Amino acid sequence: MKNLHRLFATLILFVAAPCALAAGQLGVSNAWIPQAPPGVDMLAGYLTLKNSGDAPVSILAAQSDRFLTVTVHQTVIENGVSRMRELNHLEIAPGEEVKFAPGGLHLMLMQPRREVLPGDRIEITFLLSDGQRVPAIFDVQGQDATDGATHEHHH
Ligand SMILES: [Cu+2]
């Protein structure tokens, strides 16, 4: 009889488990960094994030050993002036795709630890509220590839 109780307890555990597994799943694509003009120690990173899970994903922070700090910025126009605002966190709903692009959302990459050159591949890791760490590899593009906000990224 005691064994039967244990069996029931185990079964309940298995039935309950799928609910606890509902999770966000962050996919990364098209990650690129335009090379900065000479002498500028501030770069921007662009990419597309997609949550293909069944729960919201919340990005709390990002980090890279190539930069002193990595933050999420949003460019906004206030009274005709372009300003950048730092986002403390970025929430992505299930099924939602968020595009970082010139003139909008971007990663602000401050004080590179060494020069960032075209052809470099730079890893930046996103830290999520559920403890997941999602790495992304960014391709550095030469300046000729970065003129204008309408630029499309080609491989
Ligand atoms: Cu910025």
CA distances from 132 to 33, 57, 125 (A): 23, 10, 10
Is CATH 1.10.10.10 the right assignment for the domain spanning 23-145? no
CA of 74 from ligand 1 middle (Å) equals 7
Q: What is the pLDDT of residues 88-132, one digit of tens each?
A: 999 999 999 999 999 999 999 999 999 999 999 999 999 999 999
Distance 103 CA to ligand 1 centre (A): 10
Compute the distance between CA of residue 114 and CA of residue 66 in angstroms, rounded to an integer. 7
What is the dihedral sign for C-alpha 51, 52, 56, 61? negative
Q: How far is the CA of 139 from the centre of ligand 1 (A)?
A: 18
Q: Which two tokens stand for residue 135?
A: 């790495």
Element (H, E) at 57: strand 57-63
**What is the average per-residue pLDDT within 41-64?**
96
Specify the DSSP element, H or E, that contains 138: strand 133-141
